[in-house]
């Protein structure tokens, strides 16, 4: 795991966009795993800028989103499908048929989840998965004590997640109680993962996920076992890391080595 600490949200987003775009350019057909929430918005903005100004090409990119609220249609303004089209897809040259987001209206949820896993496999697996972290330590909607081997399935959201996400809805009572989410095991199979976190509110859980024990109580901690994970933080989110100075030193040394 490499931990990159940048001065602020904009620098964190630019670092992540530089990484994602350079990975995208390495392969003709690229499979990109995407996340929603406030954190990746700056990354998506920067990818859109790169598409418009530098010709970053999405025509051979296939995407899989981590999760979707259960019960919301793709046209619902708070659905993750709507979020992704508004904040990324409609601004770049991605093909509609290459976009995959769990179906929040799936009637047979188990069957849909199995199909979603199958679609990822058929696409050749995820090359790079973008991740955020919830204040309860979740990656995707893998709430505490989700099995670290879990696959795509329906999850019940914690009270903490419902409260965190209420800011996007008129009222807390409107926040869906369930979501369809990739499992920790699904995320783990991505060849590379990049986890982003910003702001002091995330500092404690970030420290637990990176420097604490690997535990299903903080599902992001499973990334400690992943073969190729980069964590990109702003200074505030890095505020509670014990080995912060070491991570900065490594960052500098890696750059020097690659000169
Ligand atoms: P946020 O959500 O980016 O809105 O903080 C992160 C998450 O819940 O994974």
Q: Which helix (H) or strand (E) holds 119?
A: helix 109-122
Which of 106-118 are b and which e, b meaning 16 or more Cβ less than 10 Å from the residue's Cβ? beebeebbeebbe
Question: Which residue range(s) make up the domain with 174?
Answer: 2-257
Instruction: Report helix, strand and coil shares of the chain as percent, to nearest 5.
Output: 45, 20, 40
pLDDT of 163: 96
Whether 164 is catalytic is: no
pLDDT of 148: 98
Q: What is the CATH number of the domain that holds 223?
A: 3.40.50.1360
The protein residue whose alpha carbon is closest to atom 8 in ligand 1 is: 134
Q: Which member of 51, 138, 164, 189 is catalytic? A: 138
pLDDT of 136: 96
**pLDDT tens digit sequence for 11-38:** 999 999 999 999 999 999 999 999 999 9
CB 210, CB 139: distance < 8 Å:
no
**pLDDT tens digit sequence for 94-118:** 999 999 999 999 999 999 999 999 9
Segment 78-106 mean pLDDT = 98
pLDDT of 109: 98
Q: How many residues does the chain have?
A: 259
pLDDT of 180: 98
Average pLDDT score, the chain? 98
Segment 59-85 mean pLDDT = 98
CB 64, CB 121: distance < 8 Å:
no
pLDDT of 122: 98
Count of domains for the chain: 1
Give the C-alpha separation, 116 to 111, whole Å: 9
**pLDDT tens digit sequence for 169-224:** 999 999 999 999 999 999 999 999 999 999 999 999 999 999 999 999 999 999 99
The first and second tokens of residue 5, run together, are: 């600490």
What percent of the chain shows pLDDT beyond 90? Answer: 100
Pocket of ligand 1 from Cβ distances under 6 Å: 37-39, 132-134
pLDDT of 246: 98
Nearest atom in ligand 1 to the alpha carbon of residue 131 is 9
pLDDT of 113: 98
β-pair partners for 4: 232
Q: How far is the CA of 105 from the centre of ligand 1 (A)?
A: 22
């Amino acid at each position: 795991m490499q931990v990159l600490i940048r001065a602020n949200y904009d620098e964190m987003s630019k670092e992540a966009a530089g990484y994602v775009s350079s990975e995208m350019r390495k392969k003709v057909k690229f499979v990109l795993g995407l996340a929603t929430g406030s954190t990746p918005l700056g990354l998506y903005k920067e990818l859109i800028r790169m598409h418009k100004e530098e010709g970053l090409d999405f025509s051979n990119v296939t995407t899989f989103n981590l999760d979707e609220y259960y019960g919301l249609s793709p046209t619902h303004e708070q659905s993750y499908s709507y979020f992704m089209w508004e904040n990324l897809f409609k601004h770049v040259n991605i093909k509609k048929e290459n976009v995959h987001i769990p179906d929040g209206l799936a009637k047979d949820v188990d069957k849909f989840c199995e199909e979603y896993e199958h679609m990822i496999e058929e696409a050749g697996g995820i090359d790079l998965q973008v991740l955020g972290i919830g204040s309860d330590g979740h990656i995707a909607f893998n709430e505490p004590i989700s099995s670290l081997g879990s696959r795509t399935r329906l999850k019940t959201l914690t009270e903490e997640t419902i409260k965190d996400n209420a800011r996007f809805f008129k009222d807390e009572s409107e926040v869906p109680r369930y979501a369809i989410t990739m499992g920790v095991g699904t995320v783990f199979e991505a060849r590379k993962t990049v986890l982003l976190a910003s702001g002091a509110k995330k500092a404690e859980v970030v420290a637990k996920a990176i420097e604490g024990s690997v535990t299903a109580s903080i599902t992001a901690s499973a990334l400690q076992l992943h073969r190729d994970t980069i964590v990109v933080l702003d200074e505030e989110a890095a505020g509670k890391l014990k080995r912060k100075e070491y991570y900065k030193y490594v960052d500098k040394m890696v750059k020097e080595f690659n000169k």
